[in-house]
Chains A and B, each alone.
Chain A
Amino acid sequence: MATSTMQFKIYRYDPDKDNAPYMQDASVEVDFSLDRKLLDVLTRLKAKDDSLSYRRSCREGICGSDAMNINGKNGLACLTEIKDLKQPVVLRPLPGLPVIRDLIVDMTQFFKQYHSIKPYLINEGPRPERERLQSPEEREELNGLYECILCACCSTSCPSFWWNPDKFVGPAGLLNAYRFIADTRDQATNERLDDLEDPYRLFRCHTIMNCVDVCPKGLNPTRAIGKIKEMMVRRAI
C-alpha cells in the first residue's frame, strides 16, 4: 500500500459557533492505491472530523456539486487528481458568493442569473405530432454549450461577476443564453438578444477568460459570449 500523509489548510466557518472564519490545518493518511481524487481525501477528512462541510453527490464530474477553490483555482473536488496538488492543499469556498458554512456557498445569485436568461426552449408554434426536425449540423451547434453542469466554477472566477453579481449575467448564464440562441428550434433569438443588449448583462465581459481556464467540462463561455456579441453587431447593420 502506497500510503502517505497529506497536509491541508481548510477554510472553516460555522455561524452557529464561530465569530469569524479561520483557516484550519489538517492532515490525513492517504492510500494512493485507493484514493485518486480530492473528493476521496475529503471523505477521509470528514471521517475524522464529521463537522467538515461541503456539497458532493455524483463523484464523477456530472452533477456539479463539489466545486471549490483548490490551491487558488476553482475546480471540482471529484475531478482533481491528488498527486498533482502542491501541499499544503489550500481549500476555500468558491470566491465571490456568500459563505454559508465551511466550503458551502450560497448560490442564490448564481442561479438567479441563470434563470434570468429564460433557460428554456421558446417555440410557440403548434406542437407537431412527431419530433421537430433538426439536421446533425444544426444540432452540432449545441455541442460545447448544453454540457454545462452549473457548478459555478466559471462565474465565481470572473472578476466582472465579483463586482456586479446582481447585474452581470456571468459566463455560465451567458453560455446557456447562447445555447438557446444557437438552437434552431428556438424562436426567441431577437428577444434574447434584446435582453442582453445592456451595459451590464453582457458587456461586463472583458474577455479575461478565467472562465475558460477553470471550466471542468472544457467549455468555452468566452467564445459563446463572443458569438452573442457578433450576432448583435450583425443585426445592427
Chain B
Amino acid sequence: MSKQSVAVRKFDAVIVGAGGSGLRAAIQLSEAGLKTAVLSKVFPTRSHTVAAQGGVSASLGNSEEDHWHWHMYDTVKGSDWLGDQDAIEYMCRKAPEVVVELEHFGMPFDRTDEGKIYQRPFGGHMSNFGEKPVRRACAAADRTGHAMLHALYQRNVRANTQFFVEWMALDLIRDESGQVLGVIALEMETGEVVAFHSKATVFATGGAGRIYYSSTNAFINTGDGLGMAARAGIALEDMEFWQFHPTGVAGAGVLITEGVRGEGGILRNSTNERFMERYAPNAKDLASRDVVSRAMVTEINEGRGCGPNKDFVLLDITHLDPATIMKRLPGIREISIQFAGIDPIKAPIPVVPTCHYQMGGVPTNYKGQVVGDDGAPVRGFYAAGEVACASVHGANRLGTNSLLDLLVFGKASGDTVIDDLRSGEIGLRDLPADFADRTLARLNRLNTQTGGASVNECRLELQRTMQKHCGVFRFKDMLVEGVAKIIEVEKAVAHTEIKDKSQVWNTARVEALELDNLVEVAKATMVSAEARKESRGAHVRDDAPDTPANPNGRDDANWHKHTLWHREGNRLSYKPVIMKPLSVETIALKTRSY
C-alpha cells in the first residue's frame, strides 16, 4: 500500500468511540454545529456501556437527604485516597445536573411514588461522610447502561451527528511539536484506510478488560485507545489498578450488578454464613468492591467456597419478594437463568470476582484534556470515560461512578474542545509527511506475514498470564515472573499471522490489530503492579501486609503517588496526587474501613 492511497478527510473534531462518553461528547459538539466525526468499531448501541446494570450516581436526594460533598467523600475514600480531589469534586458536583439532563433526553429511569428518579443503595454510598447508607444510584431497573446508551444515541440522532460505524481507529497522528492531529482508521467493510485529520481528537474508546482471561467485559474491550496513545508516546497512568467485580457468574464471567446487594442480596459461603459481616461490620455486603472481592477470595482460599470444587460463593436473593425481583432485577434473573441455569427467585447464584474495570488510563485533567508528564495539556488531545484517568477512581472505583464519569467527562471534554477551538488555542496543522508510515507498516506486515504465531493463542497466553500473575491478590515473585512472561508474549505478538487476507470485513485482521493494543495494556499493568510495593485499593500484595505502621498495607510515605508507564524503554515515573479540591477543604488521608 503506498502513501498516496491513504485518503484524508478533515474535521473540526473526531471522537473515537461511541459508548457513553463518546456519545455524550458528540452531543455537545454536534449541537454546537462543529463538523464532527464519531468513529466506532460497532454500531453505537452495541458499545459496552450497554452492559452496565445497577445505576448512575448523583446526590439528588430523592429518597433521603444527600449532598455532593458526601458523594465526594465516598469517592475519595473508595479511591483509597489515590483519586485527584479536584476532578472528584468536579464530578460529584456536576452529577445532579448531568443526570437530570439525561432524564430530559428521554432516559426511562424508574420512578419513586412521587414521580422522581428512583434511587437505590450501592456499595460505599453513604450519607454524612461515611455514616450510614444512602440511596444515590439512579436506576432504570437493572438495565441502566442499556437505557442510558440508547437515550444518548437517540439524542445524537436528533442532533444529526455524523457516525462512521464499524471503523477501527489504528493510530494517533502527532506532529513534531507533539500536537495531536487526528487518527488513521480502517473501514472494516472495505478495508480502506483513511486519515481523519482534525483540530481536536477525543478518545472515548473504553477499557481493556479483555487482558484478563475471566472478564465481565465485551469482546470489543481491547484497550485500543491505550494502545494508540502508548505507541504515540503518551504515558499511561495507574495501570496497576483493575477492579475485580465481586459478582461475575461463576464460569461465564457475565456481570451480576451490585444493585442486587443494593436491593437486599446477601453473599454466603459453604456454611451458609453471611461472611461479609466479619470483613465489613458496618457496610457488610455493600462495602467497596475491592473489599468484597478480597473477602470472597479469602473465603474460597480458606476452604469455604461452594460447589464440587469449592471455587465460588453464593449470592442469595431467595428471601426477597419475587415481585421486587421481577420489577427491579429482571435482567439479572434472565442472566442467571441463561448463564448459570438458576432462577434466583428459587436458588442462590454462584458468583466469583471477575475483572471488570480499569481505573487507570490516559492521564487527563478534570476538563477532559490529556496531560503530559508535566501536567500541561497535550494540544489537540482529549479523553473521557474508562480510557481516561482524571483520576476520579484512584485505586478503586465506586459502583455507579463509571456511568457518572461518562456523562460528566464526556460533556466536559466536548465543552473544552469547543472552548479551545473558539479561542484559537487549537487549529488545523499540516500532517507530517510520514504520518501513515507506521500504520501502513503494521497492515503490510499482517498482509505478508507467514509462519507466525496464532492471534488466538497469543491472546490466550496473554490473558492466562494476567489472570495468574496479576489477580485479586498479588505476589511479589509472581509479578516479577509475570513481567518476563508478558515480554515473551509481546515478542510473539510482533509476528502474528492471519490466514484471512480479504479486504472485506476481515475480523481476523481486526483481532490481530486489537491484540497489538492488548499487549501494550498488559505490559503497562504488569510493570506498574510489580513496581508498586504497597497495597492500596484494588492492588494488594503479599509483601505489603496490614501492619500498625501501614494499615491495610498502604504506605503513604512512599507510595501516595500516581504511576506513569512509558512504552519507550518500558519505564516508570511518578507524579503527585492532587489533594486540593476546587472549592472545599482537602479530604485528608485516613485509614480506610467499611
CB neighbours of A146 from chain B (8 A): 108, 140, 147, 150
Are A133 and B108 in contact, CB atoms less than 8 angstroms apart? no
Q: How far is the CB of B149 from chain A (nearest CB, A)?
A: 9
**Complex Cα distance A224/B27, Å?**
30
Are B115 and A135 in contact, CB atoms less than 8 angstroms apart? yes
**Complex Cα distance A186/B151, Å?**
13
8 A-B pairs, CB-CB below 8 angstroms?
A50-B499, A50-B511, A58-B48, A62-B51, A119-B154, A121-B106, A131-B104, A133-B111
Q: How far is the CB of A53 from chain B (nearest CB, A)?
A: 5
**Complex Cα distance A14/B507, Å?**
12
A interface residues (Cβ-Cβ under 8 A, vs B): 14-17, 34, 36, 46-47, 49-51, 53-65, 79, 100-102, 104, 107, 111, 115, 118-121, 123, 127, 129-136, 138-139, 142, 146-147, 149-150, 180, 183, 185-186
Are B50 and A62 in contact, CB atoms less than 8 angstroms apart? yes
Are A120 and B155 in contact, CB atoms less than 8 angstroms apart? yes
CB neighbours of B60 from chain A (8 A): 131
Q: Is B339 an interface residue when CB atoms closer than 8 A count as contact?
A: yes
Q: How far is the CB of A136 from chain B (nearest CB, A)?
A: 5
Q: Is the interface of A mostly helix, strand, loop or mixed?
A: loop
Are A50 and B189 in contact, CB atoms less than 8 angstroms apart? no
Besides A47-B456, A62-B143, A120-B106, 19 new A-B residue pairs in contact (Cβ under 8 A), listed by A number:
A16-B504, A50-B507, A51-B499, A54-B507, A55-B42, A57-B219, A58-B48, A58-B50, A58-B218, A63-B48, A65-B43, A118-B157, A120-B105, A121-B104, A121-B154, A133-B114, A136-B111, A136-B112, A139-B109
Q: How far is the CB of B193 from chain A (nearest CB, A)?
A: 16
Given A54-B507, A101-B504, are A107 and B43 neighbors across the interface (CB < 8 Å)?
A: yes
Given A120-B155, A150-B43, are A101 and B104 neighbors across the interface (CB < 8 Å)?
A: no
Given A50-B499, A119-B157, are A60 and B254 neighbors across the interface (CB < 8 Å)?
A: yes
Given A62-B51, A100-B505, are A120 and B108 neighbors across the interface (CB < 8 Å)?
A: no
**Complex Cα distance A176/B113, Å?**
26
CB neighbours of B48 from chain A (8 A): 57-58, 63
Q: Is B343 an interface residue when CB atoms closer than 8 A count as contact?
A: no
Are A51 and B502 in contact, CB atoms less than 8 angstroms apart? yes
**Complex Cα distance A186/B511, Å?**
42
Q: Is B477 an interface residue when CB atoms closer than 8 A count as contact?
A: no
The residue of chain B having its C-beta at the shortest distance from the C-beta of A56 within the complex is B219
Are B109 and A50 in contact, CB atoms less than 8 angstroms apart? no
Q: Is B335 an interface residue when CB atoms closer than 8 A count as contact?
A: yes
Q: Mark B144-181, 1 if CB is under 8 A from A, else 0.
A: 00110011001101100000000000000000000000
CB neighbours of A142 from chain B (8 A): 108
Are A149 and B146 in contact, CB atoms less than 8 angstroms apart? yes
Nearest 6 pairs of A and B residues by beta carbon: A121-B106, A133-B115, A50-B508, A51-B500, A120-B154, A63-B46
Q: How far is the CB of B370 from chain A (nearest CB, A)?
A: 26
CB neighbours of A57 from chain B (8 A): 42, 46, 48, 218-220
Q: Is B45 an interface residue when CB atoms closer than 8 A count as contact?
A: yes
**Complex Cα distance A121/B100, Å?**
14
Are B45 and A64 in contact, CB atoms less than 8 angstroms apart? yes
Are A131 and B109 in contact, CB atoms less than 8 angstroms apart? yes
CB neighbours of A180 from chain B (8 A): 106
CB neighbours of A102 from chain B (8 A): 505
Given A36-B339, A135-B115, are A65 and B46 neighbors across the interface (CB < 8 Å)?
A: yes
CB within 8 Å of A: which of B71-122? 100, 103-106, 108-117
Q: Is B455 an interface residue when CB atoms closer than 8 A count as contact?
A: yes
